[in-house]
């Protein structure tokens, strides 16, 4: 009987299937549970990254600065912030934390945050193999160089197009009060005197604010922001340039040379004015040469440094413009020429050349407002209106671009861009 039973082959499939069921279920469970674990790991790591950054992020203009007033060592306020951020990030996830810990340490001009976590994820089908849970762990770290030294070179577009009304209401007021429905407060100066045909004085009489006035005011206010943000008197230095005082001599005009006396720079910046022209149509209106201006300011900025000391500051070009070039450009114009006149959105080759040398470029694009009553605008600018913002963003170093319409507040936008540059911690692992 025993021999017959052993030799009997009927029912083999069922027996083999039963024997293989456990490892098959275990293998399927392994795939499912590992996928769940990887998802949990990504969620927890993202929360840890946020916690490390949150521990040292700029929550208000004085937050990190207040940390710097403490001595070297552990910063308890940052540790508490890290834990709050992490807990809020995972509160709805339902993971069983085994442990979490944060450290925030100041070491001279650096704040370093490290966040560690460990959690268990219950398994599903892997339980048939005796595996009840999977443990995942990780770490995130971030560093904030609290006293990075930076030189800012402000290049402000003051060419005739920046004489447009600062807001739609200002534009409409100019159009309604000029015989040719002109939205620009053209600044015509002939033999040292304001010409009677100039709309510059008309704008003042009407109480119209033009865009360059807003930029000048914003630049002056930026000096106050830099003063209140810096942690040592020489942490930030500023130089301010425009495209020139008059169209007859278009070249960089130095409003103030590089200085850490930001109060004095503020006074000079507040006096920035619109470039003058000797008469309408002078030099075929070719006064906005971005290529030349970028090349010229690059020659003044010196070698870019690491930012770790006053002797090796980072070099940042802070460019404010409506983004439309208008210059003599016989070759390389990206749009249709009128003779040798090139009207185009900014050619980013000039920006790229500076970035390749190690400079950072911050761009504040003051939105070029449509001028539907202006035939010149309709013929030459309107066709590429939707490209201007894109090109200005491409000019900027990644993360250093800001677009603002006049009604949104140029001063607020300039301050926001500056604070973004000086107050951004970075993940290190």
Q: Which of 26-30, 162-166, 189-193 has the highest mean pLDDT?
A: 162-166
Given a cut of 80, whether residue 322 has pLDDT beyond it is yes
Domain count, the chain: 2
- pLDDT of 60 reads 39
Of 122, 145, 168, the one marking the end of a domain is 145
Lowest mean pLDDT among 100-104, 139-143, 187-191: 187-191
What is the C-alpha separation between 174 and 176, in angstroms, rounded?
Answer: 5
Given a cut of 70, whether residue 21 has pLDDT beyond it is no
**Domain annotation covers residue 44:** yes
- pLDDT of 197 reads 76
CB 389 within 8 A of CB 403: yes
**Domain annotation covers residue 1:** no
**Domain annotation covers residue 429:** no
CB 309 within 8 A of CB 145: no
Residue (of 252, 254, 256) closest to 267 by Cα position = 256
Given a cut of 90, whether residue 176 has pLDDT beyond it is yes
Given the DSSP bridges, would you call strands 341-345 and 401-404 parallel, antiparallel or unpaired? Answer: unpaired
- Reading across the β-sheet that carries 96-107, which strands appear in turn? 73-74, 96-107, 110-122, 133-145, 426-427
Q: What is the 3-state secondary structure (H, E, C) of 277-329?
A: ECCCCHHHHCCECHHHHHHHHHHHCCCCCCCCECCECEEEEEEEECCEEEEEC
Given a cut of 90, whether residue 135 has pLDDT beyond it is no
**Domain annotation covers residue 428:** no
Same domain? For 205 and 315 the reply is yes
Q: Which domain covers residue 237, as residue numbers?
A: 150-423
CB 114 within 8 A of CB 141: yes
The CA distances from residue 56 to 79, 115, 142, 197, 411, in Å, are: 9, 12, 8, 56, 26
CB 335 within 8 A of CB 290: no
Of 123, 145, 167, the one marking the end of a domain is 145
> CA end-to-end span of the chain, whole Å?
70
**How many other C-beta atoms lie within 10 A of the C-beta of residue 397?**
17
Mean pLDDT of the chain: 85
Give the confidence band of 300 by pLDDT, cuts at 50, 70, 90: very high
Structure tokens at 163: 């004489």
List of residues 6+ apart from 36 with CB closer than 8 A? 121, 124
Given a cut of 90, whether residue 320 has pLDDT beyond it is yes
């Amino acid at each position: 009987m025993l021999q017959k039973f052993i030799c009997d082959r009927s029912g083999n499939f069922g027996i083999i299937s039963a024997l293989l069921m456990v490892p098959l279920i275990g293998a399927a469970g392994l795939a499912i549970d590992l996928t769940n674990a990887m998802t949990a790991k990504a969620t927890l790591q993202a929360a840890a990254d946020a916690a490390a950054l949150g521990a040292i992020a700029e929550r208000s203009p004085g937050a990190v600065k207040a940390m710097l007033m403490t001595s070297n060592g552990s910063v308890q306020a940052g540790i508490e912030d890290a834990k709050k951020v992490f807990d809020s990030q995972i509160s709805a996830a339902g993971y069983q934390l085994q442990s979490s810990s944060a450290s925030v340490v100041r070491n001279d001009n650096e704040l370093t945050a490290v966040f560690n976590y460990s959690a268990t994820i219950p398994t599903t089908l892997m339980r048939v193999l005796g595996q009840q849970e999977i443990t995942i762990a990780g770490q995130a770290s971030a560093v904030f160089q609290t006293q990075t030294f930076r030189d800012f070179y402000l290049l402000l577009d003051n060419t005739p197009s920046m004489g447009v009304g600062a807001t739609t209401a200002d534009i409409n007021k100019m159009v309604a009060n000029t015989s040719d429905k002109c939205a620009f407060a053209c600044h015509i100066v002939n033999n040292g005197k304001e010409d009677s045909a100039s709309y510059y004085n008309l704008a003042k009489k009407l109480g119209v604010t033009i865009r360059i006035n807003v930029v000048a005011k914003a630049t002056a206010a930026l000096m106050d922001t830099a003063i209140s943000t810096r942690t040592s008197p020489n942490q930030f230095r500023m130089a301010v340039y425009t495209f020139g005082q008059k169209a007859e001599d278009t070249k960089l005009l130095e409003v103030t040379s590089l200085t850490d006396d930001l109060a004095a720079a503020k006074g000079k910046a507040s006096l920035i004015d619109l470039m003058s022209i000797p008469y309408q149509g002078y030099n075929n209106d070719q006064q906005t040469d971005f290529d030349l201006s970028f090349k010229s300011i690059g020659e003044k900025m010196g070698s870019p440094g690491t930012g770790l000391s006053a002797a090796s500051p980072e070099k940042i070009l802070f460019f404010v413009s409506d983004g439309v070039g208008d210059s003599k450009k016989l070759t390389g114009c990206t749009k249709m020429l009128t003779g040798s006149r090139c009207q185009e959105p900014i050619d980013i080759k000039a920006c790229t050349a500076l970035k390749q040398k190690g400079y950072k470029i911050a761009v504040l694009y003051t939105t070029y407002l449509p001028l539907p009553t202006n035939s010149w605008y309709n013929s030459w600018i309107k066709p590429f209106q939707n490209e201007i913002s894109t090109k200005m963003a491409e000019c900027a170093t990644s993360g250093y671009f800001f677009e603002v319409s006049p009604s949104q507040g140029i001063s607020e936008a300039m301050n926001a861009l500056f604070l973004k540059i000086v107050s951004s911690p970075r993940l290190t692992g």
